[in-house]
A and B are shown apart, each in its own frame.
Chain A
Amino acid sequence: MALLEIKDLTVHFATEDGLVKAVDGVSYTVDRGQTLGIVGESGSGKSVSSMTVMGLTRAPNAHISGEILFDGQDLLQASDDELRKVRGDDVAMIFQDPLSSLHPFYKVGKQIAEAVRTHRDTSKAQAWDRAVEMLGLVGIPEPRRRADAYPHEFSGGMRQRAMIAMALANDPKLLIADEPTTALDVTVQAQILELIDRLQDEFDTAVVVITHDLGVVAETADDIAVMYAGRIVEKASADMIFHGPEHPYTWGLLRSIPRLDTPRDEELVPIAGRPPSLITLPGGCSFHPRCPYVRDAHRRTEPGLVPTDADPQHLVACLLDQGTRRRLWGQLEAGETPKEARALAMEDGEVELDTDVAEAGTEPGAAAARAMDTAQTAKEEEAG
């Protein structure tokens, strides 16, 4: 049995501007000891889905449905108190910005000890010792002395290590790492990722890494789910995502990874346009306004998340013909720009493009952008 099984999870927030469909029918599983990477831009629902696992999105205006089976227990049905007991014990979480995620007024050791004492019936001294032990384990030198320091006296990397120490202090079965390296220097990023990887082996913890940067999960993840506008658009083994991605959005993400082998001053290729408003999702394939390969039919038909012919574990939600997809990816991998790739595909008659729509679609109207921002803010508030 999978450690975590999420079935058809939807998380909607009722706001003044309308219903924000933050997560809209997401399913995935994580096994013991496995690492799942969830990748997407901000607003794709990747954080909301995992925070819902922790029960951190519960609010009067949140409508949550589906199933979240953790160790066989449906966390959606659990009471607040039951969920609280799971939180920080069986499921732990680390966050993007370690400075703002640690309480500025309490000593680091105390904050870790508090996590211990919340779930374990230990003395203050024992909890403190555990905190020191954990700090040592995450590689903080002189842990006994550093435990007595405040977060602002730590460097960025040390803070994230402390966060990890706090998260792992109760030996959780599942660790959710929400953008664990985004706020850190590139060199420190690697150290932290390596640390998570090492500890995962040591503790046999399942890990869900949430990131907007495919590079972060390149080395560590077993499986990768790509989310867009509240849905999973592609899900496969990490290997497959990097070598045989089938969704145009995934292609865009892959092309925006900074590579060590490309010169620093070379411009990264971002995905044109902005994520759509979660209140008024585009009809049909929700990626269509930004998709360079869009066909008229894509604006009406919603794609389903279906396995590819080659690999039943490789799920893609795209209306393009599988052959076209492969050819396009081939062009892109060969170094063509999306425009060139598209041109080639057009020659084949595979893609009939309405250039105007494609161009226009990359610039969502100001009103939509505003609605998007509002929804985003509202959602974050509820989540917090």
Chain B
Amino acid sequence: MAQTSGRSIELGIKGGGTFTHGFTTVPGQTVGSVKIPDLENKNNGIGYGYSGGLWVRKNFEKFFIQAEVTYNRFVLKQKAAITVDVNANAALANALPVSVQPGLLNASLNVVSESILEAVDVPILIGKRWMNGKLRGYAGPNFIFVQKAQANRTTSGAINANSNINFPQTDIPPTTGSTNLLNKYEAQNLEVKDFTYALELGVGYTPLPFLDVDVRYAAPVGGVYKDSGIKGFLGIATVSLGFKVF
């Protein structure tokens, strides 16, 4: 316990980076009379964010409990390819000079998205020390209070030709748009919960008495989306430095 300074309660600040990855499958739905197939959002690399806040640790003889309040930014990068009726996408349908009867025109779209989620996290962790207190291992729940959830998408592709109606193949130039995923009217079935929870585990190393280096991994098992039909996996790794104040 030499590195714990012997205090039963320690308090400090911390900051670091978040590394998010994941994939989701949005189940098919019907918009009016148009059927939208399942949307497979695949992982498109690691999204980098940040984390910063306060931590407090209560040391007991054989274990410790650590609680934190941090503000976090998670970035999830995904990509999807889908062919849908033009009426399935209001922006696409509205961009056409006429309304089109469902079933006549479809579009092959490539959607690259970057979903940004900012949240206040309150993890409550229980852990154990080794190596004379220098090495820590811990796990516990993380209560996530979502402050902002926004999806930025870039869509490109083409409206496919239909010679029966004299419609030529028409390229869709890349267009960007953003959706507030906390607004049920904007997000619709992609509405994000404003509170959820994750299971978190990690290890920490204390090379100096006032410095903690931590690596964690969390999975929001409480679900991110209000629609329970959306399946997939989301993982968040965090690397942080902690400075003990007292």
B is bound to A? no
Residues in B lying within 8 Å of A, measured CB to CB: none
Residues in A lying within 8 Å of B, measured CB to CB: none
